Amino acid sequence: MTGTDVKYIRQQFPILSQQVNGNPLVYFDNAATTQKPQQVIDALNNYYTQQNSNIHRGVHYLSQLATNAYEESREAVRQFINAKHTHEIIFTRGSTESINLVASSFSKKFLHQGNTVVISAMEHHSNIVPWQLACKERQAHLKVIPINEQGEIIFDEVEKFLDKNCKILAITHVSNTLGTINEIKQLINLAHAHEIPVLIDGAQAISHIKVDVQALDCDFYCFSGHKMYAPMGVGVLYGKEKILDEMPPYQGGGEMIKTVSFAKTTFNELPFKFEAGTPSVGDVLGLKEAIRFIENISYEVMEAHEHELLRYGTEKLEQLGDIRIIGTAPQKTSVISFLPGNIHPFDAGTILDKLGIAVRTGHHCTQPLMDFYKISGTVRASFAIYNTKEEIDAMIAALQRIKIMFA
């Protein structure tokens, strides 16, 4: 990718042109949320100025317009991840709700006393706590696959967790803290050999890696729109038709019903069985535009650019000296978590902000992972398609200043 291409892409993101504390904004908090291109912002504006109406419930023009646009977005998501059916695409508020939906509904049907749910040691809290709640309710047990110092799953340990008591494997595609890309196809194959379904938390993968749910053969795949240039408030749960049909509804209310009486309620067909209440229609339409944005650039171009940023940023940080990088797996996305010597991550992050550089500090909603590395937190710089080497140079120069300040 040429500098001209990146310059053109950056022009599509209004927020990137501003200054912070008198310095050009350097936005390296993309693992928390990505910024939004103009076409996504325009989609939101257009919905609320031209289409605003509730969907699936009205015969009037605006309702039909909004309904058609909403269902076109569902089809766009189906194609984007290569799901077999549109009714396997369920809109949620984000990855967290998608995982909670499965943990709650799946466990009611399939998880029983003495059973186990298996996760890994690198999971985000959103793929830990819902399963803890489900296990407590069903008197089941949560088991954790260990990782090594590089931040990789120890595959030699996996098989021992996949016994007859295991009812689901729930695993992240990409670690939000380490950047590690897990070999999820291999994990799925191992689990399926024992007839164990697999949920993939794709929150950190979806903006970096082309996802094909049929090729992966996962049973569930969860992701958020806001981490892939779409609005906040929309996410996706993909689930195989057969298993979704067997699961009970997650919430009750409008849309998810077929008939209601005080004596009995019958439930709607997929995907509506899992979409109770009024959805965030505008955000769903924004998600469709985010998909268009990604596809117009292509994953191949994005991966190449982000990989080069990862390589360059890692090299520059190591040249600083007295930097400990947390997460050194050979297969990584563009995330670097690091400790700047003896400087507390919060102090480093605060000063970086004063210089216009936005990074994330803390435990990144992976407290058990921090315990594994015996640290309280890290500084995390995460890169996207609109970031540049010049921005990395600005961060390195700022870190040099910080080191002098704390010397």
3-state secondary structure the chain: CCHHHHHHHHCCCHHHHCEECCEECEECECCCCCCCCHHHHHHHHHHHHHHCCCCCCCCCHHHHHHHHHHHHHHHHHHHHHCCCCHHHEEEECCHHHHHHHHHHHHHHHHCCCCCEEEEECCCCHHHCHHHHHHHHHHCCEEEEECECCCCCECHHHHHHHCCCCEEEEEEECECCCCCEECCHHHHHHHHHHCCCCEEEECCCCCCCCCCCHHHHCCCEEEEECHHHCCCCCCEEEEECHHHHHHCCCCCCCCCCEEEECCCCEEECCCCHHHCCCCCCHHHHHHHHHHHHHHHHHCHHHHHHHHHHHHHHHHHHHHHHCCEEEECCCCCECCEEEEEECCCCHHHHHHHHHHCCEECEEECCCCHHHHHHHCCCCEEEEECCCCCCHHHHHHHHHHHHHHHHHCC
> Of the listed 135, 218, 222, 365, which one is catalytic?
365
Residue with tokens 């489900």: 134
Respond yes or no: is residue 222 known to be catalytic: no
State the distance between the two ends of the chain, measured CA to CA, in whole angstroms: 39
Phi/psi zone of residue 364: left (φ > 0), alpha (ψ -120 to 50 degrees), beta?
left
- The pair of structure tokens assigned to 7 is 């310059």
> CB of 173 within 8 A of CB of 204?
yes
Read off φ and ψ for residue 118, nearest 5 degrees: -115, 130
In whole angstroms, what is the distance from residue 141 CA to residue 82 CA? 33
Structure tokens at 264: 């009995």
Residue that has been written with the tokens 């959805």 in this structure: 279
Assess contact for 53 and 263: CB atoms under 8 A. Answer: no
Positions marked active-site: 365
